[in-house]
Amino acid sequence: MTTQVTESSPARRANLLERLFRAREASLVLILLALVAATSAVNPRFVAPQSLRDLLLNVSIIALVVVGQTLVLLMKHVDLSVSSVVGLTAFLSGSLFVANPGLPVPVVLLAGVVMGALLGAVNGLLVAYGRVPALVATLGTLYVFRGVDYAVVQGGQINASNLPAAFSHLATGSVLGVPTLALLVLAVMVVFAVYLRSYRGGREYYAVGSNVDAAVLAGIDVTRRVMTGFVLSGAIAGLAGVLYLARYGTVDAAAGTGLELQVIAAAVVGGVSIGGGVGTLLGAGTGALLLGAIASALVTLRAPAFWQQAIQGALLLLAISVDIVLARRAARALQERSQR
């Protein structure tokens, strides 16, 4: 007599969705390679070492902020305030160098992370404890933090001449031809990718986004997890603000404006579902790289600037449509299996 062991419905659903989104990540890589090949065929300078280096530098800040945004999106929330957090921490970090010229670079990096975490905690308190919808709460703090930025800056700016050479080296330096900034961002992405995949705390983000009621029944402190997610999103945006300063050198009150839409587009295009519970940092990072490559390709091909935003919007709509189709197919497949 043989005993047939069948997977539970949640396990089957997780395996099915994982296969679908792995295929989606692979398709993004293929699209990226096709884009590079087509653009380089028209203009070989697109794959020149300096062009590739510039591409990595341009994508790095977006990819870093995507890490924190992914944590929030996985819980079926959104953080629109990240651009203001980047701008405010960039200027405050530069102000630290102006006030203390000999300040060690790691101290400024840590200060940026702490400042970002505090700003993220404001979002977390509003969403997790105040029960304010994340879209409303972070839209409000987007403008509040930007207003604080303008009040602090008061029409001034931080220039590259105010920054120490060791700090600027984060953006200008390289290891084996790869920009130091890109390597630093990659390290952060790998750490959080492992955390999300292999640790209980990371898996809880998926559980909260998939089904809040089930997460509560499973013993997950949803309020604490949501609070932690927004604090981490703010902390990562704070680190991005410091690196934004290193990348561009000159920072004023408008630094980072509009960054939030690029970050959300990169994450969703990369397979992070706006419905929560689905997505990986590998896919989100690939989405950021794809959008960056499209922007660079349009510049290389001398296409009008408005096409970049139009394509980003089209890809965002396409990604959301794909999410809906995949979710319906997964639900239909589960229903067919359950009827057998």
pLDDT of residue 39: 83
12-49 CB burial, b ≥16 within 10 A, e <16 = bbbebbeebbeebbeebeebbeebbeebbeeeeebeee
Q: Look at the chain and report how many structural domains it folds into.
A: 1
pLDDT of residue 138: 96
The Cα–Cα gap between 73 and 277 comes to 8
196-201 — which CB contacts under 8 Å span 24+ positions?
196/71, 196/74, 196/280, 196/281, 197/280, 201/225, 201/228
pLDDT of residue 7: 43
In a domain, 1, yes or no: no
Which residues constitute the domain of residue 85? 17-35+45-332
In a domain, 147, yes or no: yes
In a domain, 77, yes or no: yes
Compute the CA torsion angle 257, 261, 264, 268 (nearest 10 deg).
-150
pLDDT of residue 334: 57
pLDDT of residue 30: 81
The residue type of 132 is: V
In a domain, 218, yes or no: yes
Q: For the whole model, what pTM was predicted? A: 0.86
Those residues of the chain that have pLDDT short of 50 are 1-9, 14
pLDDT of residue 12: 52
pLDDT of residue 165: 86
In a domain, 6, yes or no: no
pLDDT of residue 328: 65
pLDDT of residue 337: 65
pLDDT of residue 54: 86
In a domain, 138, yes or no: yes
What interhelical angle do 281-300 and 306-338 show, nearest 10? 150
The Cα–Cα gap between 234 and 67 comes to 11
In a domain, 11, yes or no: no
CATH for 106: 1.10.3470
In a domain, 4, yes or no: no
